[in-house]
A and B are shown apart, each in its own frame.
Chain A
Amino acid sequence: MVLPALVLFIVFGVVPLVGVLVLSFTQWDGLGAIHNAGLSNWRSVLSDSQLPHSILVTFEIMILSWLVQTPMSLLLGTFLAGRQRYRAFLAVLYFIPLLLSSAAIAITYKALLDPNFGLGPGLHLGFLTQDWLGRSNLALGVVIFIVSWQFIPFHSLIYQGGVRQIPTTMYEAASIDGAGRMRQFFSITVPQLKYTIITSSTLMVVGSLTFFDLIFVLTAGGPGDATRVLALDMYKRGFMSNQMGPASVIAALIVLLGLALALLLRRLGGSTTASQQEGA
């Protein structure tokens, strides 16, 4: 029964991974012969000042977008877990950004944020007429905003499901004990959602390591290299500079970082997976 899945995983997961590892020790321009390069790629990439910068930008986007997304998703998810009709209607609206492709979102935002022909100059709104994608800090902020705008609906959905799993008896007991809504939220909802938070955070953190399409279309890593995340750095080295070796080194680093972060988050969640819910 596991055979098809295993074959798929090996062919599309393990084999390319090994291929990238092998390529990271070679010199190849994507056209001609592949030459053995020993450790020189690793040495040159690890001593390149671009690498710490890309890692920093990647982590900035990862942490800041986590900080924006988690509270918003948690609140929205809890709100949408209610069974009222209007909430179901709102849930559909909130879900729309998730239906759009990242490239389409990037092109749309780019047009809206254009300092000369965008939304700000069009409506004569001074505060919207900024050089949004042309200044380093603003561009980073815009990327984090759009990422959050795009993915909050998805994480809200996860939290909505999580909240609905919490037995209503807990809330009834809490009401009898005189706990208000705020108290219920922080003493029941949040602790009960512990594993949901870990799941959603893992998806955010590991996902933000591979952010590419949105940033590529929106800023192409610019201005300068202000939004050049690891995945973009890898692409530029591999497919723009024709240096598959160094690009493979970065790919290998992304894999390692992703694994380390996923393991760390699992650790944070505690080793036990026992549920605190009755009957589970």
Chain B
Amino acid sequence: MDPISTSRRNFLGLVGGGALAAGLAACGSSGPKSTPGSTAGAGGAGSGATYWFLTGQPQQAIREAQVKRFNDANPDTKLKTTEFQNDAFKAKIKTAIGAGQGPTLIWGWGGGGLKAYVEAGQVEDLTDWLNKEQAELKNSIFPSAFTAATANGKIYAVPGETVTPIVLFYDKRAFEKIGAEPPQSWGDIMDLVPKFNDKGIAPFSLGGQSRWTNMMWLEFLFDRIGGSEVFQNIFDGKKDGWSDPSALKALDEMQKLIKANGFVKGFSSITADSNADQALLFTGKAAMMLHGAWTYGNMKSSGGDFVTGGHLGYMNFPPVDGGKGDPSDTVGNPGQYMSISSKATDAEKATAKKFIANNTLDDATVEAWVKSGSIPVVKSAKDKLSSITDKNDSAWLNFVYDTAANAKNFAQSWDQALSPTQAETLLDNIAKLFQLSISPQQFATNMNAVIGQ
């Protein structure tokens, strides 16, 4: 399976394990086979670097343009791409890497998923490369983006693409209807709930079947009530970290909001994938929504005049009275990440590094991200914002930039930060917590059982 140990493979072949050797040889090559137009390089140093990424606009077009620019500039070492739909990608990439058939460039969300690759020895250590050769690239990226790229003190991935904090969106028209101001504190939120319900407007939209949508609420409540160290302790594997008094209080506040009918009726059968949760907000059926910054683009294109008419409002999650958390803290995706497979040949690795260095955060890419309504993970994004002429887009992008840049602590989404085992248990228990079928205490007990796994 290790393509460098050619001698062992040949030896096996000579010994007569023909079929076995063929099998091993097949494992050695990486990625899908179809390679039209590419000639195998001499001496086994193939020009076969591969890159798998996600479909879905506007991101897909930007990724395709990056590869095209690279391939035009490097006709001898072209990058071969395969595109996947989100869920298909998640299922396929893990199996493919485990079977030694993964791509050279491994795209992902960093955190716990990346750590699993690191522990299995599947990804290259990029610390030296980033600190020496690519110090300039490294310094151009938001420092907060590197936390989720780091495991055991070493950097295994390069942050790329966009920074997407979770934001509290609201419909200004709904607030006009009840004659109230957007909430400045958790207490305000609880006071607003009955007012909206009286007018037949759901206080909050929520795609509860997706589960990670519910998780965003806990991420903020934990932070605002107990500060960022509550989850940091859990992340570090501290025993009984979920039973922290602040954690229990946050879980309790969460259930109070659910019991007060804070969320739209039937939220646990709404999925975020269908964007029905966003539709509830822009059709005026719900007044507020806690969601990722990535939803802005769809609300603008699908929501009629909701965004263009200036009805969409947004803010960082408000503080909780008496809470310890810094109100500038935010959570979400500090970036997306690219790692390099340790099983690739040296030539493939070189191609992949060249692509990362020259084409993933180049000027053209940064401009394309900004135009699409997102903030790329580089500090220079701010300079591009002045070129945005659309008044709504400009205000939005400045808000996202400031939220990300001014956050004292930018926490990664829990399900990405934790190991897959913990993440699945977490999502499961969050669904039950929102169903009110378990108490905060039971939630903490269930979660404590998998801490550190």
Contact = CB atoms under 8 A, between A and B. Distances in A.
A29 B280 contact: no
Interface residues of A, number: 31
B426 to A, nearest CB: 10
Given A31-B94, A31-B97, A131 B265 contact: yes
A224 B266 contact: no
Interface stretch (B11-19, B119-127, B192-200, B241-249): B119-127
A241 interface: yes
Interface in A21-46: 29-33
A114 B437 CA distance: 22
Interface string A133-161: 11010010000000000000000000000
B431 A223 contact: yes
B121 A239 contact: no
Contacts of A115: 265-266, 269-270
B279 A31 contact: no
B431 A114 contact: no
B285 A116 contact: yes
Interface in A190-240: 219-220, 222-225, 236-237, 239-240
Contacts of B268: 131, 133-134, 222-223
A30 B276 contact: no
B98 interface: yes
The residue in B120, B267, B269, B423 that gathers the most chain A C-beta atoms within 10 A of its C-beta is: B269
B421 A243 contact: yes
Interface string A238-268: 0111110000000000000000000000000
A153 to B, nearest CB: 27
Contact of A220 (B116, B122, B209, B432): B209
Given A116-B270, A131-B269, A242-B94, A29 B120 contact: yes
B323 interface: no
Nearest to A114: B276
Contacts of A220: 209
Nearest to B209: A222
A132 interface: yes
Interface string B212-226: 000000000000000
Interface of A is mostly: loop
B425 interface: yes
B435 to A, nearest CB: 4
B420 A134 contact: no
Interface residues of B, number: 38
Nearest to A130: B266
Contacts of B270: 114-116
B420 A117 contact: no
B275 to A, nearest CB: 11
A252 to B, nearest CB: 20
- Chain A CB within 10 Å, residue with most, of B119, B208, B420: B420
Contacts of B229: none
Interface in B389-424: 419-421, 423-424
Interface string B230-271: 000000000000000000000000000000000011111111
Contacts of B139: none
Contacts of A237: 424
B213 to A, nearest CB: 12
B280 to A, nearest CB: 6
B424 A224 contact: no
B428 interface: yes
Contacts of B120: 29, 31-33
A222 B430 CA distance: 12
Contacts of A242: 94, 116, 419-421
A116 B264 contact: yes
A31 B112 CA distance: 13
B169 interface: no
Contacts of B117: 31
B266 A223 contact: no
A136 B435 CA distance: 9
Interface string B274-285: 101001100001
A222 B267 CA distance: 12
Contacts of B95: 30
A236 B91 CA distance: 12
A113 interface: yes
B264 A225 contact: no
A239 B276 contact: no
Contacts of B98: 30-32
Contacts of B419: 242
Contacts of B423: 240-241
Given A32-B119, A133-B209, A116 B421 contact: no
A149 B312 CA distance: 43
A83 to B, nearest CB: 45
B42 to A, nearest CB: 33
A224 B116 contact: no
B269 to A, nearest CB: 4
B8 to A, nearest CB: 18
A224 B431 contact: yes
Given A29-B116, A116-B264, A132-B269, A241 B94 contact: no
Interface string B426-440: 001001100101000
B424 A219 contact: no
Contacts of B265: 115-116, 131
Nearest to B431: A224
A142 B119 CA distance: 43
A134 B267 contact: yes
B143 to A, nearest CB: 29
A134 B266 contact: yes
A240 B266 contact: no
Contacts of B121: 32
B414 to A, nearest CB: 15
Given A223-B208, A242-B419, 18 more contacts: A31-B117, A31-B122, A114-B266, A116-B266, A116-B280, A133-B268, A134-B209, A134-B266, A134-B267, A136-B437, A219-B269, A222-B211, A222-B269, A224-B432, A225-B428, A240-B420, A240-B423, A243-B421
- Per CB-CB distance, the 9 closest pairs between chain A and chain B, nearest first, are A115-B266, A32-B120, A133-B269, A134-B269, A31-B120, A131-B266, A134-B268, A241-B424, A242-B420
Interface of A: 29-33, 110-111, 113-117, 131-134, 136, 139, 219-220, 222-225, 236-237, 239-243
22 contacts: A30-B95, A30-B98, A31-B122, A32-B98, A110-B271, A113-B269, A114-B266, A114-B276, A115-B265, A116-B265, A131-B265, A134-B266, A136-B435, A219-B269, A223-B209, A223-B431, A225-B431, A237-B424, A240-B423, A241-B421, A241-B424, A242-B94
